[in-house]
Structure 1
């Protein structure tokens, strides 16, 4: 999936700086279309009709600055096309989660004394491809969590398939959690943790999942993603 390093294995300001460098600082996305040619826009509309997301639409489905009240965006939203040259995440098309992927995106939020929340999306060339990649993604993703492990119970919108697990990340004593969801042609990941992390309730994880699922559904319908977390 990635380099294999724990996403929350580094703590404090140094760790936050490393994550910002890895994913990029907040780019100020206001939801407007980027400077694209007419041909690129037509291609994007065609892809949207099929439910397949390109790099630009993948980036736009990630939560923008105002989607999580009280949390500060510190990395992204950013996305990359993984169909051509190998990228930071999909360095090999032979990886089960990357073979049929078309785009990858990530956004990172932080809040004092609450830790960090990372939103990740993998966009695939079909819903069948996303379904095939799902078990490989989950095996890799939740393997980083350490005992005690418990399942979180999600309510609300959870897509066609979901898993949610709690635990602790390596070298950390604060609680962490990972949520994985399959929504049409996308796989979505929500990860919480950090040295100063607080436990997110099942209700809060459900709110985050519902928002992310709705934004993916909107993007796959060719709509502008607008779902937010209330309160």
Structure 2
């Protein structure tokens, strides 16, 4: 599988373009990575904090919780009850974080679902991706090319999402974790395809760093 360890990502030279810097990755050059179950603290650390998101204001601080079996995380959604049991029944911990960027009032949400092993996470990803994929982000959705972060991935954008403006949903699986990123806007300014790609690479790298036993350090540099 393609990994993002130890690489630097940059946008074009347009004014105001940010740089995605994956710093302190410390992984080998074979491109592989560990796939271990994460603790509650490790799940929280996968979520980008304010230092990792310059240019964005924190709306919801990164936080992880242990799910209550009767009430799975609200982000764990599937197309039917059987798939819901597969995707949501064995979550060990989950976490969320949210940011907003002005002046375009773009909302950015992250979520992590952690599982006891890679096989369980793989099955969960398939069930969740079926729900969030395609036109779930909005009518007429089109794929966004995000490269190959993590083990599995999908990203789609629509011209009109739930906030009334452009929106994206990106889904990833990295080892024992299933990750999600959604963006929305009340205006006309869209999060660019390049930025969607960079955010996905950063988030996947943080998940891999945690599973490698490292403190996640991948960040969006600039602002």
Same fold (TM over 0.5): yes
Deviation at 1:196, TM superposition (A): 3.8
Deviation at 1:85, TM superposition (A): 6.7
* RMSD (Å), alpha carbons: 2.4
Q: Distance in 1 between matches of 2:116 and 2:64?
A: 16
**1:160 paired to 2:145:** no
Out of 163, 169, 175, the residue aligned to residue 161 of structure 2 is 169
**1:106 paired to 2:105:** no
Residue in 2 that maps onto 1:7: none
Q: Deviations over 1:30-69 (max 9, x none)?
A: xxxxxxxxxxxxxxxxxxx871012211011100111111
What's the TM-score, normalizing by structure 1? Answer: 0.71
**1:52 paired to 2:37:** yes
**1:185 paired to 2:170:** no
Residue in 2 that maps onto 1:71: 56
Partner secondary structure for residue 205 of structure 1: helix
Residue in 2 that maps onto 1:3: none
Q: Deviations over 1:140-194 (max 9, x none)?
A: 2245322221110113x51111001011324x43100011011000011010003
Q: Distance in 1 between matches of 2:175 and 2:99?
A: 25
Higher relative contact order (CA 8 A, sep 6+): 2
What's the TM-score, normalizing by structure 2? Answer: 0.73
Q: Distance in 2 between matches of 1:55 and 1:124?
A: 11
Distance 1:114 1:99, change over 3 A: same
Give 5+ residue unaligned stretches, structure 1.
1-48
Q: Distance in 1 between matches of 2:48 and 2:35?
A: 22
Give 5+ residue unaligned stretches, structure 2.
1-33
Higher helix share: 1
Alignment check: 8 A CA contact 2:164 2:187 kept: no
